[in-house]
């Protein structure tokens, strides 16, 4: 299966040379070597310097790994970092300026909650010698219960289909109201 479909010069990263043309993952639609070969013409490779190749190739190979790229098929590009980022920005929104220390506390709190749930906050308080009250414990337990119920519902196939249909109906225009994670989007 060919996964590399966008980088016009990716065959350079496979150390393609005139003596060793490595175009096994190239597509005829954009590979200059394969196009020339199909026409019966000659093609001379223009190589990347060896030092640059040695620095870039491990990263390229890791990103071009078939197991990694298979996860992107069908639009399944969400990953756990997106959930952590959303949790951080829920605590300290990008639209409000806060200092470095506040962001550090928010990130630490988000990591605690993301990894161990709301109950981790109670354990931190206990570690600081602060006893959590019964109302705090009750609220945290309720939040964890709602989170688990929401996750169970979200995993059901009918919920997935309904969300997909709802997103298609709304279109992308409505998503522009929320802060964006794109460069310069905040």
pLDDT at 92: 92
**pTM (predicted TM-score):** 0.42
pLDDT at 5: 46
Regions of the chain short of the pLDDT cut 70: 1-21, 25, 47, 71-81, 171-186
How far is Cα 21 from Cα 146, in angstroms, rounded to an integer?
Answer: 57
Count the Cβ atoms, other than its own, within 10 Å of residue 31.
22
* Contacts of residue 74, Cβ cutoff 8 Å, sequence gap at least 6: none
Q: Which residue has the tokens 């905040």?
A: 186
The phi-psi region of residue 131 (left if phi > 0; otherwise alpha if psi is between -120 and 50; otherwise beta) is beta
The SS3 call for residue 30 is coil
């Amino acid at each position: 299966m060919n996964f590399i479909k966008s980088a016009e010069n990716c065959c350079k990263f496979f150390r393609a040379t005139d003596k060793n043309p490595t175009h096994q993952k190239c597509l005829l639609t954009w590979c200059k070597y394969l196009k020339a070969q199909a026409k019966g013409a000659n093609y001379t490779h223009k190589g990347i310097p060896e030092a640059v190749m040695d620095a870039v190739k491990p990263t390229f190979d890791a990103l071009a790994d078939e197991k990694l790229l298979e996860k992107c098929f069908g639009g399944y590009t969400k990953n756990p970092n997106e959930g952590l980022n959303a949790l951080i920005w829920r605590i300290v929104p990008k639209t409000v300026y806060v200092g470095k220390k506040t962001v550090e506390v928010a990130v630490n709190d988000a990591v605690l909650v993301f990894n161990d749930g709301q109950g981790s906050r109670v354990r931190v308080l206990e570690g600081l010698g602060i006893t959590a009250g019964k109302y705090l414990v009750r609220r945290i337990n309720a939040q964890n219960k709602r989170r688990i119920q929401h996750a169970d519902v979200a995993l059901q196939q009918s919920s997935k289909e309904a969300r997909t249909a709802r997103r298609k109906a709304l279109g992308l225009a409505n998503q522009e109201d929320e802060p964006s994670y794109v460069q310069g989007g905040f």
